[in-house]
Structure 1
Amino acid sequence: MVQYYYWNTVRIIKKGGFDVDHLVPIRTVDDIFPKYRDTPIGRLLQYHNLQSPLDSYEHAEVVIGMCMDNRKHLRIPDNFAYVLRTGGGNLRYSEFKISYAIAVGGVKAIALIGHDKCGMVNLMARKDKFVQGLVDRAGWDKERAEEHFMHFAPMFEIDNEIEFVISEAKRLRSRYPKILVVPMFYGIDDKLLYLINE
């Protein structure tokens, strides 16, 4: 059974052993884990959560992978980050872009940002709405729309927001062992970033 908890207005789905204890609110610089404080991750948290003055950057320092959800917006300086937005923040099909940002852009960190109320959770339950939407709005026939959904939904569906972002961080750490990869969480209601206590 899925249980819902409300903490600082962030809805957390307790499933697979993850609960509110895994989210660390960032209200002061001291709340940022010491290993992240003097890194692009620490600066991201200071810009967004703590409203630190926006510095000037000529080159990006971080890749930010986050969901395409339109309810999420980050407060960061221009040129600070390469931002990749995909369904659920799933970067499995964006690795060439990440590699480019590291090899050519020189970034040293990746921030993976999951969020609550994600549309990629239980995606299969939205099949009929998805298919009908393509029929009504895009002019597709129903069979083509169903095939499209069934081909791509398994690639993008996630079971739990926190579990997914942690597993994606582990996967990317193995791919890019010299790069700092940090799973994070965005609260849709309070618009704040949280660190995840893995």
Structure 2
Amino acid sequence: MKELIKVTSREDIFSKYIGTPVEKLLLSHNLGQLDGQYSSAELLIGMCMDNRKQLNIPSNFAYILRTGGGNLRFSEFKVSYAVSVGGVKAIALIGHNNCGMVNLMSKKNKFVNGLVENAGWDEKRAEEHFMNFAPMFEIDDEVDFLLSEAVRLRMKYPKVLVAPLMYNVEDNLLYLVREE
């Protein structure tokens, strides 16, 4: 059972995140408790490129990678950079509801037509482009993908805390995902 926990107070935050940059992210974004000045990033945030999501965090607090669906599979060098050179010890992987990468194949015609009309592509090239890349980026379910990506990142970076979070585009809050 996938359970989302709304964070409306510090008491809602899972104990494994207390005292970590994930706690600071939740306190900052959901509760408006901005926590000081930062001279370097403490956290890597991987989140969707969707324009409906904006985080309320202090300057210099986090590296942010925005990709379709929050999929970091093709951004691993950037993740490794943030961990190795940037020194981050935690990753907040943020999915969101109503993600455009869910059921991407159903958007093929709109995608192809959009490239033809808006970018000047010919239809055959636009369709080939879609068919070459859509399977790499399509996700079946936002929460399932988020959890599988968290497991994958934990295996790749075993000393890094990876926190799967969901952004609700209706209330603009971050939710914890109970993984048990």
Q: How would you bin the TM-score normalised by the shorter chain? A: over 0.9
Q: Which runs of 4+ in 1 moved over 2 A?
A: none
Which letter maps to 2:13? I
2:105 aligns with 124
Does structure 1 residue 75 correspond to structure 2 residue 75?
Answer: no
- Mapped to 1, the partners of 2:13 and 2:19 lie a distance apart of 10
Percent identity for Structure 1 against Structure 2: 64
Q: Deviations over 1:24-66 (max 9, x none)?
A: 0101101001110100000000000011034100010010000
Which runs of 5 or more residues in structure 1 are unaligned?
A: 1-16
- SS of the residue 2:31 aligns to: coil
- Mapped to 2, the partners of 1:44 and 1:53 lie a distance apart of 9
TM-score normalized with structure 1 length: 0.89
Match of 1:180 among 158, 161, 164: 161
Does structure 1 residue 61 correspond to structure 2 residue 42?
Answer: yes
Match of 1:139 among 111, 116, 120: 120
- Kept in 1: contact 2:38–2:59 (CA 8 A): yes
Q: Deviations over 1:152-193 (max 9, x none)?
A: 000000000000000000000000000000100000010000
- SS of the residue 2:50 aligns to: coil
Structure 2 matches for 1:13-52, cutoff 5 A?
Answer: 18=2, 22-52=3-33
For the aligned residue pairs, the C-alpha RMSD in angstroms reads: 0.7
- SS of the residue 1:152 aligns to: helix
- SS of the residue 1:63 aligns to: strand
- Mapped to 2, the partners of 1:114 and 1:143 lie a distance apart of 32
Which letter maps to 1:191? N
In the TM superposition, residue 131 of structure 1 has moved relative to its aligned partner by: 0.1
- Mapped to 1, the partners of 2:159 and 2:51 lie a distance apart of 32
Which runs of 5 or more residues in structure 2 are unaligned?
A: none
TM-score normalized with structure 2 length: 0.98
- Mapped to 2, the partners of 1:42 and 1:151 lie a distance apart of 39
2:86 aligns with 105
Which letter maps to 2:77? F
In the TM superposition, residue 121 of structure 1 has moved relative to its aligned partner by: 0.2
